[in-house]
Amino acid sequence: WPVGLEVVERRRFRNPADESRLFGPDGLDPAGIAYAPQTETLLRASEGRSGTNSPVFVHAATLGSQFLREIPVDDKYDHRIEQGADGELPQGIFSSAGFESLTLAPAGDVLFVAPEDRLVRDGTPAKAGNGVTGLARSVRYERVGESWASAQEFAYEVSAREDSLSGDGVISLVNLLAVDDDALL
């Protein structure tokens, strides 16, 4: 651990859509998290899981992990809409390829989220192998009071995955870092 860093307590993500406030088995695939100092909140994203009722989401929570609000996500990312009984996806994310990255710009007024791969509507996933490449999306949000509003959407190229069985050669979006309000690494 870096000098001065101490892990004090572990908290569970709370599910605002369930009476128990807990996520069920395979109901959560958290990936991105950022601290928003202006509102003293945690922003967190989950990839969601197709084939389940687990949505792609971006939430704001207290530092103690208490849910505050859902940050609106466009329906085109929701794999649960019109999902077939056989699990066939007419839209949304591919399995466990939702919001992998979440980053807050240094000034704290711009938030970026991005899925790991393309959406169903955009073609075959790069994770499928066979040299598939293509454009995926990232979303730029702007802070509005204590919440966030989607402002822009950008395309980025997802590189092909070389071997979809062993995981060797996997190249997909894993993380982003906002350098400022308009530049990402």
Q: Which residue has better confidence, 126 or 33? A: 33
Side-chain half-sphere exposure of 83, counting CA atoms within 13 A: 20
Instruction: State the pLDDT confidence band at 1, using cuts at 50, 70 and 90.
Output: very low
In contact, 27 and 15? CB cutoff 8 Å: yes
Task: List the Cα angle 84/87/88 in 5-degree steps.
Answer: 65
pLDDT above 60: residue 9: no
What's the token pair of residue 80?
């649960």
In this prediction, residues 150-155 reach a mean pLDDT of: 93
What is the β-pairing status of strands 99-104 and 67-70?
Answer: unpaired
Q: Which residue has better confidence, 73 or 126? A: 73
Instruction: State the pLDDT confidence band at 87, using cuts at 50, 70 and 90.
Output: low
Give the pTM. Answer: 0.81
pLDDT above 60: residue 170: no
